Amino acid sequence: MPKWLFLFLLLSTTSLHADEITEEEIDLLAPEPEIVEDIQASPTLPSCQDENVQQHVTQLLEEYNKEHPVHSIYEKRQRTLQIRLANHFEEQPVTGFTSRQNRSVADKLLITKINNGLNDSEIRLCKSNAKGTEFKPVYLMIYNHHQKTELHILNFLDNPAEELKTDL
């Protein structure tokens, strides 16, 4: 039997089998993505000067002060000044924030972005206006997480592993 005849018969039988197979049996294409129309847009982040943010910051600092009382007049004055300075915040760009600016804040930003899958535009960073004082600036980090807006007070406590946080 000539080779071309054998090849012709082989191709003709495979084409018959291909016609008999339905789309349901073999799906070589990737499944089409499902379109979800009922996705809730994440709420916008409050500004650094938002009154609700200021109230939460003051409340967190007062709760911390009640749990950790001071033992001298000097420490009491220091805390009072810190609370006063922690009421005026200016927004800081998250993009390009480096450890040169503040190592513990930069580390916390990086960890938050990685753990929550956030990008720079989904986080608001606020810095207290502590110019001309001996106090280190206090930072606020605000972002949406599981349909809630979280507020973290960074750089306030001496231990960078500790932080004050609440939901807005």
| Domain membership of residue 80 as a residue range | 51-167
- pLDDT computed for residue 64 by the predictor: 86
Say if residues 151 and 53 touch (Cβ distance below 8 Å): yes
Is residue 2 a part of any domain in this protein? no
Is residue 58 a part of any domain in this protein? yes
Is residue 145 a part of any domain in this protein? yes
| Nearest by Cα to 127 from 90, 81, 102, 82 | 90
Per-position pLDDT tens, the chain of length 168? 567 666 666 666 554 455 555 555 555 555 665 554 434 444 688 888 888 988 898 889 888 888 888 888 988 888 887 777 777 889 999 998 888 998 989 999 999 999 988 888 899 999 988 676 677 788 899 999 888 899 998 887 777 677 788 887
Q: How many domains does the chain have?
A: 1
Is residue 125 a part of any domain in this protein? yes
Average pLDDT of every residue of the chain: 78
- pLDDT computed for residue 126 by the predictor: 92
Is residue 24 a part of any domain in this protein? no
pTM of the model: 0.68
Strand ranges inside the chain, DSSP E = 89-92, 123-128, 139-145, 148-154, 164-167
Is residue 5 a part of any domain in this protein? no
Is residue 1 a part of any domain in this protein? no
Is residue 64 a part of any domain in this protein? yes
